[in-house]
Structure formats: C-alpha cells, structure tokens
Amino acid sequence: MLAHQMAMENPVMIRAEGVDATEFPDLASQFHVQGVPQTVINSGTGTVVGAVPEQNLLDAIQRALKN
C-alpha cells in the first residue's frame, strides 16, 4: 500500500491507516467515501480517489499541506 510505504520514510511525522470501509462504515461516510480505494489526507484536508502513482499522491499531499 503506497501510503504504508510513505509512512515508513518518516514514521515520526506520518501515519498510514488502511481502513476497511465495510467494518467501519461510519468513518467512511464521515469522509463521504464513495469509490475505493480512497485516501483521505489529514482528516479531510485532501482526498484522492483510486489507486494512483506515487507522484499523484505526493502532489495531493503537498496541496493539502499548503492549506
């Protein structure tokens, strides 16, 4: 999982949680998860739908962190 790979590079700052939307539907609906996989960045500051390449997730993270 790409997010897990990223966490490994800086575990002090980064945490990556895979979440089973079937077991935790309330959490999924809190973030309006419709298509999986969906990556929610910093509790909703950013979001990426689908399995994307490293650079795409990185771009989304950089955008989210600027907010």
Partner 1 sequence: MDKLLDDQIIQQIGEAFAQLKEPVQILFFGSRTQCDYCAEVQQLLEEVATTHDKVNVTVYDIQADRELADQYHVDKAPTIVVAAADGSQISNLGIQFSGIPSGHEFATLLNDIMMVSSRDSGLSAEVREFLKHLNQPLLLQVFVTPT
Residue type, 17: E
Token duo for residue 35: 């298509």
Least CB distance to partner 1 at residue 26 (A): 10
- Contacting residue, 13, 50, 63, 67, with partner 1 by CB under 8 A: 13
CA distances 22 to 3, 11, 13, 31, Å, are 20, 27, 28, 14
Q: Is 50 in the site for partner 1 (CB under 8 A)?
A: no
- Site residues (vs partner 1, CB under 8 A): 1, 3-11, 13-24, 27-28, 31, 33, 36-43, 54-55, 58, 61-62, 65
